DNA sequence: CGAGGCCTTGACCGCGGTCAATGCCCGTGG
DNA sequence: CCACGGGCATTGACCGCGGTCAAGGCCTCG
C-alpha cells in the first residue's frame, strides 16, 4: 500500500528504495491499521489546490491516481519544484516539518485522488510506534538525497542535458505534463525548451 | 525583494536550529555520556582528507575548529558542494545514510580538529535512546531544507545574485575561503566571479 | 466560427564560459 | 637579499547558450 517515489528512482537510489519497501512490508498489522486510522481518501479536480501558499502544510497526500505539482510564485513567474505521480507523497517539506506557512502551492494538474494523512495524528502515531518514526526518517533521507541529485544537475548540466536526463529517467512525465510546467521545473524558458526538443 | 524573502527564509531556519539546540540541552546526562562514548577528537592538517571519494562514509565529523569543504570531481573540474565551519557536522550524506561508496571528498582547507563519531556506534545509540533517533531526524530535515534553499537559488538567481546572497548571509565564508572554491560552490567560473567582485 | 490555451519559430542581445596573458604574493634556494 | 617559481587572482578578447519580445500555428471548446 504505502510506496515511494518510484517515478524518481535514479539508479543509485534503487537499493535504498527497496530497503524502505522491505521495511514497510514487515510492519505489524496493528501499525498498518493505525496508519489507516490517520488517513482518508479525497478526490480533487484538475486545478484544485491541495495546499496553498501561505498556509501551513498540515497534511501529507499520497497520490492514488492522477498528477499534482508543487510550485512557488517568484516575482511574476511560476517555479515548478516537484511533480507527484501515483504512490508519491506530496508535501511542502519545510512547511510540513517546521509547521510554518508554506511558500509553495500544491495543485492537481489532472483529476486525481489521494490518501490524506493528518500531520498531528501521524506525529502521535510515531510516538506510539517507533518503527513509524524510523520510516519517516528514511523517507526524509530519501528526499534529501533526491534534492542532492537535483542540485547537482543544476550545478553542472546545461539546459539540454537536464532535459535529456529527464527524458531518460522519467519519459512518462514528459508525455503527460504540459511543457510550460516542465520548462519551469528545469529552470528554463518555454521557448528554449521548445527549441531543445526541435533539435532532437 | 529577493533579499526580504531570503531573510525570512533564513529566519525560519534559525528558529529550527534553535529548536534542535533546545532539544539537545534537555537531553539526559546518560545520553550525553553515550554520545561522548561514541566519539573522539581528531586533528587534521590543511589538505588532509576526512573522507575520500570511493570510500563509504562511516563517520560523522563535527567541526571543533578550522574549515573543511566537501567536493566532487566531475570530468576535469572540481565541484564544491558544501563548506563546514565550527559546530557544523560534516558527512557525505548519501554515502552516510545508505552506507555506499561516496562520490565526494571531504577535505580540510585549514588546519582543523573535529569530533568524530562512528556510524555503527551511533546507530546502536539511536536504537537505545529514541531521543537520539529524533535528534538525527531533525538534523536530516534541516539538511533537506537547506538543500531546498540552495536549489531554489540555482533555480532562480543569476551568478551575481547568488554571490551577493552568499556575501550577505555568510560574509566570513567569503573572507576565509579561496575564491576558486567559492566559484565552484556557486557554479560559476573563477573568472566570472572575479568580474562580479570587480563590479561591486 | 471565433476565442483562448498551448506550443513553435524568428530576431536580437546579454550573461557567463573558455583561452590566454598578466599581475601579485609568498616561500625557497642561490 | 634578491631571484625565481608556483599558486592564486585579475583582465581582455571572443563567442555560444539561453532569455526576452513578438508573431504566428494549432488545438479544443463554446
With 0-12 CB in 10 A as exposed, 13-18 as middle and 19+ as buried, what is A145? buried
A114 beta partners: A42, A63
Q: Which of A9, A23, A94 to mutate to test the interface with B (most CBs of B within 10 A)?
A: A94
Asked if A154 lies within 8 A of B156 by C-beta distance, the reply is no
- Write out the DSSP string of chain B: -HHHHHHHHHHHHHHHHHHHHHHHHTS-HHHHHHHHHHEEEEEE-TT-EEE-TTSB--EEEEEEES-EEEEEEETTEEEEEEEE-TTPEE--HHHHHHT-B-S-EEEESSSEEEEEEEHHHHHHHHHH-HHHHHHHHHHHHHHHHHHHHHHHHHHH--HHHHHHHHHHH-HHHHHHS-HHHHHHHHTS-HHHHHHHHHT-
Strand, coil or helix: A71: strand
Strand, coil or helix: A150: helix
Residue B192 CA, nucleotide D22 C1', distance (Å): 32
Asked if B154 lies within 8 A of A151 by C-beta distance, the reply is yes
Strand D contact with A188 (CB < 7 A) = yes
Chain B CB contacts of A152 under 8 Å are 79, 81
Are the C-beta atoms of residues B71 and B80 closer than 8 Å to each other? yes
Strand D contact with B117 (CB < 7 A) = no
| pTM, entire model | 0.94
Mark residues 181-200 of chain B whose C-beta is closer than 7 A to nucleic acid strand D.
190-191, 193-195, 197-198
Low-confidence ranges of chain B (pLDDT < 50): 1-7
Chain D nucleotides close to protein (CB under 7 A) are 8-13, 17-22
List the single residue in A with minimal CA-CA distance to B136.
Answer: A137
**Residue with grid cell 524510523, as numbered in its chain:** A134
pLDDT cut 70: percent of chain A above it: 94
Asked if A141 lies within 8 A of B97 by C-beta distance, the reply is yes
Residue B133 CA, nucleotide D28 C1', distance (Å): 54
pLDDT at A7 exceeding the cut of 50:
no
The pLDDT value recorded for residue A10 is 65
Asked if A148 lies within 8 A of B94 by C-beta distance, the reply is yes
Asked if B154 lies within 8 A of A156 by C-beta distance, the reply is no
The pLDDT value recorded for residue B8 is 53
Residue A13 CA, nucleotide D6 C1', distance (Å): 42
Quote the minimal CA–CA distance from B148 to chain A in Å.
7
The pLDDT value recorded for residue A4 is 45
**For A35-79, how does the pLDDT look when each residue is reduced to its tens digit (9 = 90+)?**
999 999 999 999 999 999 999 999 999 999 999 999 999 878 899
Q: Could you say which of B81, B97, B155 has the minimum Cβ distance to residue A79?
A: B155
Residue A153 CA, nucleotide D18 C1', distance (Å): 17
Quote the minimal CA–CA distance from A127 to chain B in Å.
10
Asked if B141 lies within 8 A of A145 by C-beta distance, the reply is no
Q: What is the mean pLDDT of residues A81-97?
A: 96
pLDDT at A8 exceeding the cut of 90:
no
**For B119-169, how does the pLDDT look when each residue is reduced to its tens digit (9 = 90+)?**
999 999 999 999 999 999 999 999 999 999 999 999 999 999 999 999 999
Q: Which of B19, B101, B148 to mutate to test the interface with A (most CBs of A within 10 A)?
A: B148
**For A22-39, how does the pLDDT look when each residue is reduced to its tens digit (9 = 90+)?**
999 999 999 999 999 999
Ramachandran bin of A55, using left for φ above 0, alpha for ψ from -120 to 50, beta for the remaining angles: beta
Amino acid at each position: 500500500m504505502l510506496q515511494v517515489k518510484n517515478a524518481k528512482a535514479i539508479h543509485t537510489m534503487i537499493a535504498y528504495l527497496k530497503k524502505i519497501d522491505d521495511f514497510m512490508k514487515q510492519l505489524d498489522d496493528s501499525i498498518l491499521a493505525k496508519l489507516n486510522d490517520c488517513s482518508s481518501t479525497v478526490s480533487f479536480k484538475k486545478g484544485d489546490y491541495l495546499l496553498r501558499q501561505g498556509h501551513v502544510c498540515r497534511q501529507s497526500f499520497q497520490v492514488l491516481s492522477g498528477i499534482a505539482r508543487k510550485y512557488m510564485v517568484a516575482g511574476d513567474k511560476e517555479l515548478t519544484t516537484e511533480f507527484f505521480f501515483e504512490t508519491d507523497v506530496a508535501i511542502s517539506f519545510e512547511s510540513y516539518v517546521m509547521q510554518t506557512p508554506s511558500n509553495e502551492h500544491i495543485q492537481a494538474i489532472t483529476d486525481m485522488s489521494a490518501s490524506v494523512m493528518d500531520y498531528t495524528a501521524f506525529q502521535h502515531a510515531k510516538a506510539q510506534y517507533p518503527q513509524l518514526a524510523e520510516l519517516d526518517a528514511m523517507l526524509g533521507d530519501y528526499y534529501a538525497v533526491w534534492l542532492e541529485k537535483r542540485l547537482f544537475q543544476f550545478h553542472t548540466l546545461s539546459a539540454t542535458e537536464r532535459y535529456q536526463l529527464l527524458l531518460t529517467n522519467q519519459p512518462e512525465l514528459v508525455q503527460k505534463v504540459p511543457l510550460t510546467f516542465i520548462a519551469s521545473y528545469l529552470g528554463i524558458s518555454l521557448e528554449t525548451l521548445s527549441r531543445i526538443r526541435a533539435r532532437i
